[in-house]
Amino acid sequence: MRAGGSNPVREAARILTARGNVVVLTGAGISVESGIPSFRGSQGMWEKYDPMEYATLHAFMKSPQKVWEMLSEMVSVCGGAMPNAAHRGLAALEEMGVVRAVITQNVDGLHQAAGSRRVIEYHGNLDELICVYCWKRYPTRDRWTPGSVPLCDCGEILKPNVVLFGEPIPWLAQEEAEEEARTCGVLVVIGTSAQVSPACDIPRIAKESGAAVVEINPEETSLSGNVTDIHLRGSASELLRRIQVTLSTDDESTSTSPPGIK
Ligand code: NAD
Ligand code: ZN
C-alpha cells in the first residue's frame, strides 16, 4: 500500500468520492464467493485442466469434444451460480452514482444479474454459442444440455462466444474498456491476478492516464506495489461492504484526497 494512513478502506472511500469517475475491472476472484472457481490458485480450474490443452483456440479446433469437457463444467457451474454480495455491492455503487462502469474479464454474466447496467464484457459470455465455421450464433440454453456437445445447423461443433487463448478481444469491448481506462479518475481492480494479456494492460493504461488504482485482492499480484496505489487485502464482498458503509456514513469522505493521491 503506498498511500499512508491507518485505515486503507477509509482512504479508498475518500479517493472514490474525491476523484469520481470510478471504473471497476473485475476478474474470476469476484465470482469465487458465488461458487465459481478461479483459474489460478489451489482450488483453481488449472489444477484440473491444463490451459494449453483446454483453453486455446488451437485446442478447440483440434479436439472440440475434449475441450467441451472443461467448457461443460464451466457452463454448468456458471449457469447455476447466483451473484454474491460483491456483485450486488458494485451494482449498488453504480446506483449511488459512484461507479461509472464495470469492465469484466468474467464470462458468467453475474454483474448483469446483480443489476449492474454498464458492463463491458472483455472476454465474452457463456450465454451464447458461436459457430467458428459459419459464424451463426445461438443462445446456449437452446443448444446445450449437460454432457452434450452442441452442434450448429451446419453440422459443426459450436464454441461458447468467449475469448480463448489465441483469440482476439471483441474490438468494441476492447475500444470501450481502453476508453474507460484512459478517462477514469479511479480504477478499482477486483479479483484478478492480472496475468492474462491484454486485460492486464487496463490498470497500466488507467495509471498512465492519471487515475488512482485501488486493488481488492486477498493476495499480492503483479500490480500490487507498483501500479496499485492502495491494496485492500481481503475478499471482494467484505471490502466492498466496508467501502459502501464508509461512503454512506463518513461525511469526511467527500472532502479532500489522502496524502499520496492527487
Ligand atoms: P485468476 O484466476 O487468474 O485470479 C483470480 C484472482 O482472484 C487471484 O488473484 C485471487 O487472489 C483473487 N481472489 C480469490 N478469491 C477472491 C475474493 N473472494 N475476493 C477478491 N479476490 C479474490 O483470474 P483472472 O485474473 O480473472 O484470469 C482468469 C481468466 O479466466 C479471466 O480472463 C476470465 O475470463 C476467466 N475466468 C472467468 C471465470 C468467471 O467468469 N467467473 C472463472 C474463471 C476464469
Ligand atoms: Zn455453422
Question: Which CATH number fits the domain that encloses residue 72?
Answer: 3.30.1600.10
Residue 230, classified by CB atoms within 10 Å of its CB into exposed (0-12), middle (13-18) or buried (19+), is buried
Please tell me whether residues 181 and 112 are part of one structural domain.
yes
Task: Please determine, for residue 29, whether its predicted confidence score (pLDDT) is greater than 70.
Answer: yes
Per DSSP, the residues of the chain read --S-SS-HHHHHHHHHHHH--EEEEE-GGGGGGGT---SSSTTSGGGTS-HHHHSBHHHHHH-HHHHHHHHHHHHHHHHT----HHHHHHHHHHHTT-EEEEEE---S-HHHHHT-SSEEETTEEEEEEE-TTT--EEEHHHH--TT---B-TTSSBPEEEE--BTSPPPHHHHHHHHHHHHH-SEEEEES--S-STTTTHHHHHHHHTT-EEEEE-SS--SSTTTT-SEEE-S-HHHHHHHHHHHHHH-GGGGSPPPTT--
pLDDT bucket at 44, cuts 50 / 70 / 90: confident
pLDDT, tens digit (0-9, with 9 covering 90-100), for 181-220: 999 999 999 999 999 999 999 999 999 999 999 999 999 9
Average pLDDT over residues 237-248: 96
Question: Could you give the number of structural domains in the chain?
Answer: 2
* Claim to verify: residue 232 and residue 258 sit in the same structural domain: yes
The answer to whether residues 248 and 185 belong to one domain is: yes
The residue range of the domain holding 15 is: 1-36+83-123+169-262
Same-domain status, 146 and 209:
no
Rounded mean pLDDT, 226-243: 97
Q: What is the CA radius of gyration of the chain?
A: 19
CB 112 within 8 A of CB 121: no
Q: How far apart are the C-alpha atoms of 70 and 228, rounded to whole Å?
A: 33
Q: What pLDDT was estimated at residue 66?
A: 94
- For the beta sheet containing 159-162, the strands, ordered from the edge strand earlier in sequence to the opposite edge, are 137-139, 124-130, 159-162
Query: Confidence band (pLDDT; 50, 70, 90) for 147?
Result: confident
Q: In this structure, are 189 and 150 located in the same domain?
A: no
Q: Are residues 66 and 55 in the same domain?
A: yes
CA gap 167, 170 in Å, rounded: 9
Mean pLDDT for 15-20 is 96
For residue 242, what is the domain's CATH number?
Answer: 3.40.50.1220
Ligand nearest to the CA of 153: 2
Residues 11 and 117 reside in one and the same domain: yes
Whether 135 and 113 share a structural domain: no
pLDDT band at 3 (very low <50, low <70, confident <90, very high): very low
From ligand 2's centre to the CA of 118, what distance in Å? Answer: 31
The pLDDT tens digits of the residues spanning 154-172 come to 999 999 999 999 999 999 9
Residue 262 CB coordination number (10 Å) = 8
Q: In this structure, which ligand is nearest to the CA of 191?
A: 1
**Grid cell of 251 as nine digits:** 461525511
Probe target for ligand 1 pocket from 38, 123, 189, with the most ligand atoms within 8 Å of CB? 38
Which sequence positions are flagged as catalytic? Answer: 123
Q: Which residues' Cβ are closer than 6 Å to ligand 1?
A: 27-33, 36, 38-41, 44, 105-108, 123, 190-193, 195-196, 199, 216-219, 221, 235-236
Does residue 220 sit in the same domain as residue 90?
Answer: yes
Give me the pLDDT at residue 262, please.
Answer: 31
The reply to whether 207 and 88 lie within a common domain is: yes
Q: Are residues 32 and 43 in the same domain?
A: no
Of the pLDDT bands very low, low, confident and very high (cuts 50, 70, 90), residue 46 is confident
Burial of 146 (0-12, 13-18, 19+ CB in 10 A): exposed
| Residue for grid cell 476523484 | 19
Q: What pLDDT band is residue 38 in, cutting at 50, 70 and 90? A: confident
Give the pLDDT confidence of 103-125 residue by residue, as tens digits: 999 999 999 999 999 999 999 99
Give the Å distance between the CA of 60 and the centre of ligand 2: 15
8 A C-beta contact, residue 213 and residue 187: yes
Domain match, 63 and 144 both = yes
Q: Indicate the top mutation candidate among 192, 202, 227 to test ligand 1's pocket, ranked by most ligand atoms within 8 A of CB.
A: 192
Please tell me the distance between residue 74's alpha carbon and the centre of ligand 1 in angstroms. 13
pLDDT of residue 5: 56
- Domain final residue pick, 114, 135, 162: 162
